[in-house]
Amino acid sequence: MDISIEILSERFKLLGDKTRLSILALLRERDMCVCEFVEVLHCSQPGVSQHLKKLKQANLVREYRKGHWIYYQLNKEEIPELTIYMVDIPNLKKYIDQEQVECEA
Amino acid sequence: MDISIEILSERFKLLGDKTRLSILALLRERDMCVCEFVEVLHCSQPGVSQHLKKLKQANLVREYRKGHWIYYQLNKEEIPELTIYMVDIPNLKKYIDQEQVECEA
DNA sequence: TGATTATATAAGTATATCGTTATATATTTG
DNA sequence: CAAATATATAACGATATACTTATATAATCA
């Protein structure tokens, strides 16, 4: 594989943000919806949305709707090389419930 | 290894720049001095210096003097995990001389 | 259908980052 | 020691990025 410096630096720039990196780390544990990120990350709802948009545009995550909520998940299949960058990302399991919680409507 | 999100995002931010990423890619081939980067990267001398300073502060590179010139080299030994991030960095061998050239004084 | 709710977008502001120009520092060599 | 040269630093301006507030959109459910 021979990704250009251009593309690779953009990829790193995307990962070079605490909030986005935390989102990816959390998504390694399980799919999560926007309001969960807001709660866990102490980040505003528009803030989370904007970061998710960037991750989505870079094809690192994708979304699906489930009732009221839009869940995000890692795009592991399409970007296997993403795992290379994620080797060192800390485990954030302790900050979230293990089961995908049904938020009350 | 359990690097914090804080530190890891800083590391990625550092790699998220075309010039710095190119410097690292070039240093994979051989040690180089500042004026060589200036020539190859089409970047000003102060620009190169500033980028090198950041890489040095992050302990990714180190320097040694050789006559008039200050050469930089990858800090492979101290940061083996750096190689993880560099797997995908393109090979820039074609842009430089293979031998460490003695610049005329 | 209308109210509610989750999420997205727009617009504005503050801050960080990069590149430039000018100047300082440090080493070599005559 | 003085001149030349490679590199580093300082100061500034331009641009990009992230955060905030306000508002729009879209789906659900009564």
Find out whether B5 and A9 touch, Cβ atoms under 8 Å.
Answer: no
Residue numbers in A near B25 (CB within 8 A):
5
Q: pLDDT, tens digit, for every residue of A48-84?
A: 999 999 999 999 999 999 988 999 999 987 665 666 6
Token output for B60 = 């990714």
Region A37-57 average pLDDT: 95
CA of A22 to C1' of D7 (A): 39
pTM for the model: 0.85
Whether residues B25 and A5 touch (CB distance < 8 A) is answered with yes
Q: Average of pLDDT values for A8-32? A: 91
Q: Which residues of chain B have pLDDT under 50?
A: 1, 103-105
Which tops the pLDDT comparison, A97 or A27? A27
Rounded Cα gap, residues B25 and B58, in angstroms: 16
- Please report, rounded to whole angstroms, the spatial distance between the CA atom of protein residue A49 and the C1' atom of nucleotide C9: 10
Q: Which of residues 16-35 of B touch A (CB under 8 A)?
A: 16-18, 20-22, 25
Spatial distance from the CA of B28 to the C1' of C4 (Å):
58
Q: Pull the structure tokens for residue A78.
A: 């399409």
Count of other CB atoms within 10 angstroms of residue B32: 21
Task: Starting at the earlier edge strand, list the strands of the sheet with A61-66.
Answer: A32-33, A69-74, A61-66
Rounded to 5°, the CA angle A49-A25-B13 comes to: 75
Looking at the predicted structure, is the pLDDT value of residue A96 above 90?
no
> Cβ separation of A90 and B2 shorter than 8 Å?
yes
Q: Is the pLDDT confidence value at A101 over 60?
A: no
Three-state secondary structure call for residue A72: strand
Cβ–Cβ below 8 Å for A8 and B81: no
Instruction: List the beta strands (DSSP E) in A59-102.
Output: 61-66, 69-74
The pLDDT assigned to B105 comes to 42
Does the nearest atom of strand C lie within 7 Å of A46's Cβ? yes
pLDDT over 90 percentage in chain A: 51
Residue A27 amino acid letter: L
Measured distance CA(B89)–CA(A57) in Å, rounded: 22
Q: At what angle do helices B18-29 and A5-15 cross, to 10 degrees?
A: 120
Strand partners, A62: A73
Check B90 against A15: CB less than 8 A apart. Answer: no
Q: Check residue B89 and report its DSSP letter.
A: P
CB A19 within 8 A of CB A46: no
Q: Quick check: A33 and A103 in contact, CB under 8 A?
A: yes
Residue A105 has pLDDT above 50, yes or no: no
> By the CB < 8 Å criterion, does A12 face chain B?
yes
